[in-house]
Structure 1
Amino acid sequence: MDTSKAEPGTRGSRTAGDVWLRPSARRERDAPPLSRDRITEEAVALLDAEGADRLTMRRLAERLGTGSTTLYWHVKTKDDVLDLALDKIFAEVEIPRKGGQGWRADITALVSGWRAVLLRHPWSAALLGRPMLGPNVLARSEFLYATLVETGVVEPHLTAAAYGLSNFVIGSGLMQATWPDNAKQPMLRDAREHLHANRERYPALAAHGPLVADGNWDAGFALGLGWLLDGIQANIASTDEEGGARA
């Protein structure tokens, strides 16, 4: 994030993710009547209504009915607020219960829930490149890694599999969020016409590109996720065969 025009209280060495590495402000007798939870809830509401570009510490303080000085008692920077808000919405991603459905079903449920949350909070996908160290994010990341480990995925494929799934969800959510529903069809039509007019330069895209599709985001996500899971499953089978051959 560009901090060249940082707001008051954002200068210094503090960066995204720092909020999870500092102890929370201790409540003392002279501490202002405001909590980090309340700040986070209001920040999410503001982000949902107006997007990340409109979030400022001053506007957040106004919505909370307090002053910026009081706000800074609990959060030091705008990055703190964004980190807290991102972790807050991850609490909406339900962690699947182990019920014998199998690892593919568990991962599908987890990442599908994650995608649904990104779409409910369209500002979030563009911010997920920052350090994610909050308890809600870590709990869901732990579930993903543990499920992959339990099913037989080992390094270096473990990190590749987890990153592949995570980046697919983020990319899918970001792409869909940037196509507003009220402008989607005209934009798709114009894009198709552009590709058709330049089909000699882009023959594969003109015939098969994503902008030629019917815009069924759910079907496209399910198909892409299936390909990723097929690849993970094939890697597990290959590892098992190699282990059996060595034995």
Structure 2
Amino acid sequence: MEEAVALLDEEGIDGLTMRRLAERIGSGVTTLYWHVDTKDDVVDLALDAILGELPPARPGDTGGTEWRAAIVALLVDWRTTMLRHPWSAALLQRPTLGPNLLSRMEFLQATLVRPGFTGTHLHAATWTLYDYLMGATVARASFQMSAEDRETAQQRLRDRSDAYPTLSANEYMLEDDWDGTFVTGLGYVLDGIAAAEKR
């Protein structure tokens, strides 16, 4: 899968064809089809392969780490890995269930079980965190405005501060601490999850 991931990194999803992949690995297309049935299979394997770049996620690995800190570390690493491969963000809706993804989901749920989440609370907490991770990853990977374009957009908000006073005053278009904002927002999500569990 290394060559498939490398091709996706260089060319994106549109640049991945079975013929080009076969050329990169020095085989014929027919030979490639002995191992995978379709391009979609290659994409699914590549998506799971990039999660293999992270250290193995096992529930017992957290040791004495506080459950929230363990989740933050997991999701920060997960997001960072996916952002190294921007093509992956456009494919997050694919229902892939490879071993690397499943090990991370197992880690996430097992970590949530530690403070007492069960049943519907466990499912809601799991999917809320997963959705936050994926939404933040897609937003970051798809945001392509240059610093100059962002300044121009912010100036337009300043020029229309009567209609957008808050966006203008707080420099909405100039905020670019994506990593810090992700961690801070994750803290808010975890605060809400913890508070809901105590009710």
- TM-score computed with the length of structure 1 as normaliser: 0.73
Partner of 1:16: none
Q: How does 1:2-151 map to 2 (within 5 A)?
A: 40-94=1-55, 95=57, 97-151=61-115
Deviations 1:66-95 (A, max 9, x none): 221111111111110110000001112232
Letter in 2 for 1:42: E
Partner of 2:179: 218
- 3-state DSSP class of the match of 1:159? helix
Larger Rg: 1
Is the Cα–Cα contact under 8 Å of residues 121 and 197 in structure 2 kept in the other structure? no
Q: Which of 234, 238, 247 is the equivalent residue of 2:195? A: 234
Query: Deviation at 1:197?
Result: 3.2
Quick check: which one's helix share is greater? 2
Extract unaligned runs of 5+ from structure 1.
1-39, 239-247
- Measure, in 2, the Cα distance between the counterparts of 1:133 and 1:43: 18
Letter in 1 for 2:189: L
Identity between Structure 1 and Structure 2 (%): 52
Partner of 1:196: 158
Query: Deviation at 1:154?
Result: 2.6
Is the Cα–Cα contact under 8 Å of residues 154 and 172 in structure 2 kept in the other structure? no
Letter in 2 for 1:170: M
- Measure, in 1, the Cα distance between the counterparts of 2:125 and 2:18: 38
Is the Cα–Cα contact under 8 Å of residues 93 and 113 in structure 1 kept in the other structure? yes
- Measure, in 2, the Cα distance between the counterparts of 1:123 and 1:106: 27
Is the Cα–Cα contact under 8 Å of residues 48 and 122 in structure 1 kept in the other structure? yes
Is the Cα–Cα contact under 8 Å of residues 44 and 96 in structure 2 kept in the other structure? yes
Deviations 1:153-212 (A, max 9, x none): 2332222221221122222222222235xx531232122123333433333333347424
- Measure, in 2, the Cα distance between the counterparts of 1:68 and 1:150: 48
Deviations 1:102-151 (A, max 9, x none): 10011011001101101111111121111121011001101101111222
Is the Cα–Cα contact under 8 Å of residues 75 and 81 in structure 1 kept in the other structure? yes
Deviations 1:187-242 (A, max 9, x none): 321221233334333333333474242x111211111011011111112222xxxx
Extract unaligned runs of 5+ from structure 2.
none
- Measure, in 1, the Cα distance between the counterparts of 2:160 and 2:42: 45
Is the Cα–Cα contact under 8 Å of residues 132 and 138 in structure 1 kept in the other structure? no
